Amino acid sequence: MSKLRVAVLGAKGRIGSEAVRAVEAAEDLELVAALGRGDSLETLTDTGAQVVVELTTPASVMENLDFCVGHGIHAVVGTTGWTEDRLARLNTSLAASPATGVLIAPNFSIGAVLTMKFAEAAAPYFESVEVIELHHPKKVDAPSGTATRTAQLVAAARREAGSAPQPDATTTALDGARGADVDGVPVHAVRLRGLLAHQEVLLGGEGETLTIRHDSLHHSSFMPGILLGVRRVVDTPGLTFGLEHFLDLK
Ligand SMILES: NC(=O)C1=CN([C@@H]2O[C@H](COP(=O)(O)OP(=O)(O)OC[C@H]3O[C@@H](n4cnc5c(N)ncnc54)[C@H](O)[C@@H]3O)[C@@H](O)[C@H]2O)C=CC1
Ligand SMILES: O=C(O)C1=N[C@H](C(=O)O)C[C@H](O)C1
């Protein structure tokens, strides 16, 4: 069977360089391009790339995806910065290229995907939910894509369950002291030397709390998810948001 031809964008970055090694090590995949900032996207068509793994920056991702989708190249996207406007633009370009698949995964690690699932399931049972994400200090965006997605899932679950607004008597606060408001869920971002990618979801009810915590200790935690995404996206046209859609979760 012929190997799937894969390119990595952001190949010199922290996660991109790990992804290059993972694709090279996979027997069913062939790394045909490893592109960094300033490299020509034409290399993707010249090398016949079938799938691009997009791990660049929020400032670069849209232009890269416009090119990929416009040329019928499937994409597995880990880059953050997704807004409703950006998703709408991507859906518009996918509508013009209906055989092309794009997976956007706020987090490729199984533990983070499960954290989001558990938080979504638990959220209606508690009065209060707050999210704390903790990352390395070179991260350019805050809050993290994972924390944003977690808060959105929690908020949707609470809306669907008819949960009351969260109790909070704060009347005066320094700017930022109560975190960012994501869909009514406070999200706090810590940037600390020594950390990689971590998240806690704190849930509180009468006389009890539940803490769901996940730690990515190495970029290797994201690789099985990226490889799964590459193998599945070629048979999944359109936009898939979240790796959970490619996992057989009970
Ligand atoms: N979904 C997930 O599981 C994960 C997502 N990420 C996300 O991936 C992105 C990259 O993270 P890091 O590797 O830590 O950042 P990084 O800054 O180490 O790497 C980004 C790389 O992309 C390059 N780049 C920028 N524009 C480019 C372009 N137009 N074409 C090709 N290369 C370009 C930069 O020069 C840099 O080498 C971030 O948005 C981060 O949040 C990171 C880890 C896991
Ligand atoms: O920048 C990172 O490092 C990470 N980014 C993603 C995010 O913003 O959620 C995924 C993970 O947290 C690592």
Tell me the pLDDT of the chain (250 aa) as tens digits. 799 999 999 999 999 999 999 999 999 999 999 999 999 999 999 999 999 999 999 999 999 999 999 999 999 999 999 999 999 999 999 999 999 999 999 999 999 999 999 999 999 999 999 999 999 999 999 999 999 999 999 999 999 999 999 999 999 999 999 999 999 999 999 999 999 999 999 999 999 999 999 999 999 999 999 999 999 999 999 999 999 999 988 7
In this structure, are residues 129 and 123 in contact, taking their beta carbons and an 8 Å threshold? Answer: yes
Which mutation among 17, 61, 135 tests ligand 2's pocket best, with the greatest number of atoms within 8 A of CB? 135
Q: What pLDDT score was predicted for residue 248?
A: 84
β-pairing, 197-205 with 128-135? antiparallel
CB within 8 Å of 210: residues ≥ 6 apart: 122, 126, 202, 203, 204
Residue 21 has phi, psi (to 5 degrees) of -65, -40
Q: Find the angle CA(98)-CA(101)-CA(102) to the nearest 5 degrees.
A: 125
For residue 143, say if its preceding peptide bond is cis, omega within 30 degrees of 0: yes
Distance separating alpha carbons of residues 109 and 88, to the nearest angstrom: 26
Spatial strand order of the sheet with 74-77 comes to: 29-35, 4-9, 51-54, 74-77, 101-104, 238-241
Q: Which residue has the CA at smallest separation from atom 3 of ligand 2? A: 197
Residue 135 has phi, psi (to 5 degrees) of -140, 170
The answer on whether 107 is annotated among ligand-binding residues is yes
Q: Which residue has the CA at smallest separation from atom 12 of ligand 2? A: 197
ipTM of this model? 0.99
Distance separating alpha carbons of residues 93 and 240, to the nearest angstrom: 14
Query: What stretch of H or E contains 13?
Result: none
132: left (phi over 0), alpha (psi -120 to 50) or beta: beta
Coil/strand/helix, residue 212: strand
Q: Tell me which ligand sits closest to the C-alpha of residue 116.
A: 2
In this structure, are residues 149 and 115 in contact, taking their beta carbons and an 8 Å threshold? Answer: no
In this structure, are residues 71 and 46 in contact, taking their beta carbons and an 8 Å threshold? Answer: no
Domains along the chain with CATH numbers = 4-104+220-246 (3.40.50.720), 110-217 (3.30.360.10)
Q: What pLDDT score was predicted for residue 116?
A: 98
In this structure, are residues 127 and 166 in contact, taking their beta carbons and an 8 Å threshold? Answer: yes
The answer on whether 151 is annotated among ligand-binding residues is no
The answer on whether 12 is annotated among ligand-binding residues is yes
Rounded to two decimals, what is the model's pTM?
0.97
Q: Find the angle CA(177)-CA(178)-CA(181) to the nearest 5 degrees.
A: 130
Å from CA of 107 to ligand 2 middle? 7
Å from CA of 164 to ligand 2 middle? 31
Question: Which numbered atom of ligand 2 lies nearest the CA of 108?
Answer: 10
| CB 214 near ligand 2, within 6 Å | no
- Report the Cα 134 to chain-centroid distance in Å: 15
Q: What pLDDT score was predicted for residue 250?
A: 76
The answer on whether 178 is annotated among ligand-binding residues is no
**Catalytic residue ranges:** 135, 139
